[in-house]
C-alpha cells in the first residue's frame, strides 16, 4: 500500500469502541507536555478543555464518517456540570475550541509519539544491525480557503477549458519505519515543491546505524552524500533508473557475480563543484534478476559484501 492510500485508509475498519480503549496508546502526559510547551493549556475550567480538544482532533481522524458533535459524544469529551449532569457544547463552541488550540500542540504531540513509537519499532526489526527506513510522499487536498490557496497552490487540470483543480493541495513527504509503516518524521509544503526538495528536512532525523531505502525519484549525487555517513553507520539504497537519465559509473572492483564496486561521477559538474563534495562517489552496484521479472540494478552505500 502506498503512503497516500494509507492516509486515506485512516479511520476505515475496526476502531476503538470507548474512550478508554481509544486513549490507551497515548500517554496523557504527552498531551499535557505538548500543551505546556506551546502555551496552550487551559487556565480555567471549560466544558471542553484544551486536552480534550486534542483528543477531539485525533478522534476526528479515526471517526471520519461521524459528525464532530457525534465524535464528542462518542468519546465523552465534555466535562460534567457542577450538578454532575453531562455537559453539552454547541457546534460553534467546537469551532472556537479548535481555533484556540491551534496546530502547535498537535505538531508537538506528533513529534513525541513518532520518537517513541517509530524508534521502538525500528529497533525491534533491525536487519543486520541496521534500522530500516523508507521515504515516500503524496499530495492531500485541503479546505478551499484563500490562505490555503496562497500557501499550497493548486494543480492544473486536464479539462479542455483548462484551469486549476477545485481544491488547494499540499505535498507531504515522510520518513517511515518500513516494516510497521510508522511515521518517524514528516515535511509539508506547497504542491509545487518536489518530494526530493521537501525531503531535505528529513535527513537529520535519520538515526545512526540505519538504512534508508529510496525510490528512483530521489537519485541525486548531493543527496547520497547527505544521507550516507560512514562515521554514523548511516546508509542508503536506491533502484537505479534505466534508459534516459541513467547513471554512468566506472567499475573499480568485482565483488561477485553482478556485484560491483563503482565510482559514480555526476553528469553535471555543478552537482559536486561549489558544494564541497568529492568529484566521485564510491558505491556498490548490485544486479538483481528474479524469474519472471526484468533485471534491475540497486545502488547502495553498503560496500562490504560480507557484512
Predicted confidence at residue 160, as pLDDT, reads: 66
Low-confidence ranges of the chain (pLDDT < 50): 84-85
- CB neighbour list of residue 28: distance below 8 Å, 6 or more residues apart: 51
* Long-range own/partner contacts, residues 124-131 (CB < 8 A, 24 or more apart): 125/177, 125/179, 125/180, 126/209, 127/211, 128/307, 129/209, 130/209, 130/210, 130/211, 130/233, 130/235, 131/177, 131/207, 131/209, 131/210, 131/211
Predicted confidence at residue 59, as pLDDT, reads: 82
Q: Which three cell numbers stand for residue 288?
A: 538483481
Predicted confidence at residue 222, as pLDDT, reads: 86
Predicted confidence at residue 180, as pLDDT, reads: 87
pTM of the full structure: 0.81
What digits encode the pLDDT tens for the residues 142-195? 889 999 999 999 888 776 666 777 899 999 999 999 988 899 999 999 999 999
Predicted confidence at residue 57, as pLDDT, reads: 86
Please give the Cα distance from 184 to 178 (Å, whole number): 10
Predicted confidence at residue 260, as pLDDT, reads: 95
Domain positions in the chain are: 3-106, 125-300
Please give the Cα distance from 2 to 143 (Å, whole number): 23
Q: Which three cell numbers stand for residue 296?
A: 534491475
Mean pLDDT over each residue of the chain, to the nearest integer: 83
Q: What CA–CA distances, in Å, run from 252 to 34, 64, 128, 282?
A: 52, 55, 25, 9
Q: 191 with 154: CB under 8 angstroms?
A: yes
Q: 224 with 236: CB under 8 angstroms?
A: yes
Please give the Cα distance from 78 to 66 (Å, whole number): 17
What digits encode the pLDDT tens for the residues 24-59? 778 888 888 888 888 877 655 566 788 888 888 888
DSSP characters for the chain? --HHHHHHTTT-S---SSHHHHHTTS-HHHHHHHHHHTT-S-SS--SS-HHHHHHHHHHHHHTTTS-HHHHHHHTT-S---TTSPPP---HHHHHHHHHHH-SHHHHHHHHHHIIIIIHHHHHHT-BTTBEEEEEEEEEEE----HHHHHHH---B---TT--B-SS-EEEEEEEEETTTTEEEEEEEEETTS-HHHHHTTTGGG--SSEEEEE-GGG--HHHHHHH-BTTTTEEEEEEPP-STT---EEEEEEEETTEEEEEE--SSGGGTTTTT--SSEEEEEEEE--TTS--EEEEES---S--
Amino acid at each position: 500500500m502506498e503512503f497516500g492510500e494509507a492516509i486515506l485508509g485512516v479511520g476505515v475498519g475496526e476502531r476503538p469502541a470507548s474512550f478508554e480503549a481509544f486513549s490507551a496508546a497515548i500517554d496523557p502526559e504527552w498531551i499535557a507536555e505538548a500543551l505546556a510547551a506551546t502555551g496552550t493549556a487551559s487556565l480555567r475550567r471549560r466544558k471542553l478543555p484544551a486536552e480534550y480538544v486534542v483528543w477531539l482532533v485525533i478522534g476526528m481522524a479515526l471517526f471520519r464518517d461521524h459528525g464532530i458533535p457525534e465524535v464528542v459524544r462518542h468519546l465523552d469529551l465534555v466535562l460534567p456540570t457542577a450538578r454532575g449532569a453531562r455537559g453539552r457544547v454547541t457546534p460553534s463552541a467546537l469551532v472556537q475550541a479548535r481555533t484556540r488550540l491551534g496546530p502547535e500542540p498537535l505538531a508537538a504531540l506528533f513529534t513525541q509519539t513518532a520518537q517513541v513509537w517509530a524508534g521502538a519499532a525500528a529497533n525491534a526489526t533491525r536487519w543486520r544491525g541496521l534500522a530500516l527506513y523508507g521515504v515516500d510522499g503524496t499530495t492531500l487536498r485541503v479546505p478551499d480557503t484563500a490562505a490555503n490557496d496562497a500557501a499550497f497552490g493548486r494543480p492544473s487540470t486536464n479539462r479542455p477549458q483548462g484551469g486549476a483543480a477545485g481544491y488547494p493541495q499540499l505535498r507531504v513527504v515522510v520518513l517511515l519505519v518500513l516494516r510497521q509503516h510508522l511515521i518517524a518524521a514528516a515535511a509539508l509544503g506547497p504542491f509545487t515543491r518536489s518530494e526530493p526538495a521537501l525531503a531535505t528536512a528529513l535527513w537529520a532525523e535519520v538515526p545512526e546505524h540505519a538504512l534508508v531505502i529510496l525510490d528512483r525519484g530521489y537519485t541525486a549525487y548531493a543527496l547520497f552524500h547527505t544521507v550516507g555517513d560512514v562515521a554514523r553507520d548511516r546508509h542508503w539504497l536506491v533502484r537505479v533508473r534505466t534508459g534516459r537519465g541513467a547513471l554512468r559509473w566506472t567499475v573499480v572492483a568485482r565483488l561477485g557475480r553482478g556485484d560491483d564496486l563503482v565510482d559514480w561521477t555526476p553528469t553535471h559538474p555543478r552537482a559536486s563543484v561549489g558544494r564541497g563534495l568529492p568529484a566521485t562517489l564510491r558505491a556498490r552496484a548490485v544486479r538483481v534478476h528474479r524469474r519472471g521479472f526484468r533485471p534491475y540494478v540497486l545502488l547502495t552505500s553498503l560496500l562490504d559484501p560480507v557484512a
